[in-house]
Homo-oligomer: A and B are copies of this chain.
Amino acid sequence: MDASTALNIYREQLKKYIDFNEAEWIIFSQHLSINQLKKKQYFSEPGKVCDKVAFMIKGTVRYYHIKDGQEITGYFSFENEFVTSYKSFLTGLPGLTYIQALEDCLLITFTHRDLDQMLANPMLAYKVEKFGRLVAEETIICYEDRVASFITQTPEERYLQLYNTGKDILRRMPQHYIANYLGITPVSLSRIRRRVLTGVK
């Protein structure tokens, strides 16, 4: 895929949040970069500041932490979703999360510095503020549901909910990553699946 196709996809997807006119888009797009990741490359690593927000044109990433020498996968991103270590990006402090490409990825990114420049530009400031607010609000809604699932549901119920709504994750991610995502071990998820899918035991 060439750069201009990718940018057009981005512009189209952004209409969900904000509709730039031609003049605005010319300036906005000057702050964008194309970023390609080979499988297993990192978009972000613990100890480093994640100073970019990416939009996934093609590919998938997973977010994971290391605890006691073990990888624990907390999240995934797919096509047409944003990718960043939000807290690190917003605070400018080093993050704790690996963000790793699971397939070759094509990303469109802007840096925090570019964001600041856009917010300082009267041509763009208002729409970029709105863009930021809407993306942040959408993110909050996802988190609200996710936290509620940890508070009110058992691991088995979380799996069933994912089974009914999370086809992308189930289809495209290995099961031991999904187990982490649900807050349980891979062995435990294997047992839950036997209970749920076969009715045995």
Contacts and interface: CB of A to CB of B under 8 A. Distances in A.
Nearest to A150: B150
Dominant SS at the A interface? helix
B87 A150 contact: no
A129 interface: yes
Interface stretch (A27-35, A99-107, A136-144): A136-144
A86 to B, nearest CB: 5
A74 B129 contact: no
A134 to B, nearest CB: 9
A56 to B, nearest CB: 18
Contacts of A148: 65, 74, 96
Among A67, A90, A133, A145, residue most surrounded by chain B Cβ atoms (within 10 Å): A133
Among A65, A67, A86, A148, residue most surrounded by chain B Cβ atoms (within 10 Å): A148
26 contacts: A65-B152, A67-B152, A72-B151, A74-B151, A86-B137, A86-B141, A86-B144, A87-B141, A90-B137, A126-B126, A129-B130, A129-B133, A132-B137, A133-B133, A136-B136, A136-B140, A139-B140, A143-B143, A143-B144, A143-B146, A146-B147, A147-B150, A150-B183, A151-B180, A151-B181, A151-B183
Given A126-B126, A136-B140, 16 more contacts: A65-B148, A65-B151, A65-B152, A67-B152, A72-B152, A74-B147, A86-B141, A90-B137, A125-B126, A129-B130, A132-B137, A133-B133, A143-B143, A143-B147, A146-B147, A147-B150
